[in-house]
């Protein structure tokens, strides 16, 4: 574990690894909708825990921001911001 905030690419790698484990294609276009990518709420929760494990602490998530998430880019922005605020 590390206290270093995660970079966007690292978060994207985690996201793609989750999709790969589900037998789904990786995100190539950040504008892709989560529905099209097959990235579901449990995947989102798994990603949150993997990010927390990677940074070595619990993160404070912005609930308002979370409600507006619809694309892969939104997910990456969300976790990037959560890491910066930690």
Partner 1 sequence: MPEVVRTNQILFDECPVTWSGLLDGAERKGLASRLREADRPAAIVVDDARAAFEAVALLAGGEWDGMMLGRERLSPAVREMLSNSGYAVIDAASGEVGVPKVPARTVAGRIALLTSGSTGVPKLVQHQWNTLFTGRNMQRVSARRWLVPYQAGTYAWYQVVTLGLFQKDQTLIPVDVSDLVRLFQVAGRTRADSISATPTFWRQAMLSVPRADLQAVPFRSITLGGETADRKILDWLLALYPSAQLTHIYASTEAGACIVVKDGQAGFPAGILERNDPSLPEVKLQDGRLWVRSPYSSRAAEGRADSWIDTGDLVERRGDRVFFVGRADSAMINVGGNKAYPADIEAVLLAHPAILWCRVRGVKSPFVGNLPEADVFFAEGRPAPEETDLVAFCKGKLPEYAIPRFWNRLESIPLQSTLKSPL
48 binds partner 1, rule: CB under 8 A: yes
Q: In the bound complex, what is the minimum distance in angstroms from residue 48's beta carbon to partner 1?
A: 4
42 binds partner 1, rule: CB under 8 A: yes
Q: In the bound complex, what is the minimum distance in angstroms from residue 42's beta carbon to partner 1?
A: 6
Q: In the bound complex, what is the minimum distance in angstroms from residue 78's beta carbon to partner 1?
A: 11
35 binds partner 1, rule: CB under 8 A: no
Q: Which long-range contacts (CB under 8 A, 24 or more apart) does 7-14 make?
A: 8/76, 8/80, 10/54, 11/47, 11/51, 11/75, 11/76, 11/79, 11/80, 11/83, 12/72, 12/76, 14/47, 14/50, 14/51, 14/54
Residues that bind partner 1 (CB under 8 A): 20-23, 40-42, 44-46, 48-49, 52, 58-59, 61
């Amino acid at each position: 574990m590390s206290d270093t905030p995660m970079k966007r690419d690292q978060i994207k790698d985690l996201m793609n690894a989750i999709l790969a484990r589900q037998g789904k294609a990786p995100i190539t276009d950040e504008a892709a909708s989560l529905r099209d990518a097959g990235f579901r709420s449990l995947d989102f929760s798994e990603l949150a825990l993997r990010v927390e494990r990677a940074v070595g602490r619990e993160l404070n998530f912005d609930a308002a921001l979370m409600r507006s998430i619809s694309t892969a880019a939104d997910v990456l922005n969300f976790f990037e911001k959560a890491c910066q605020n930690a």
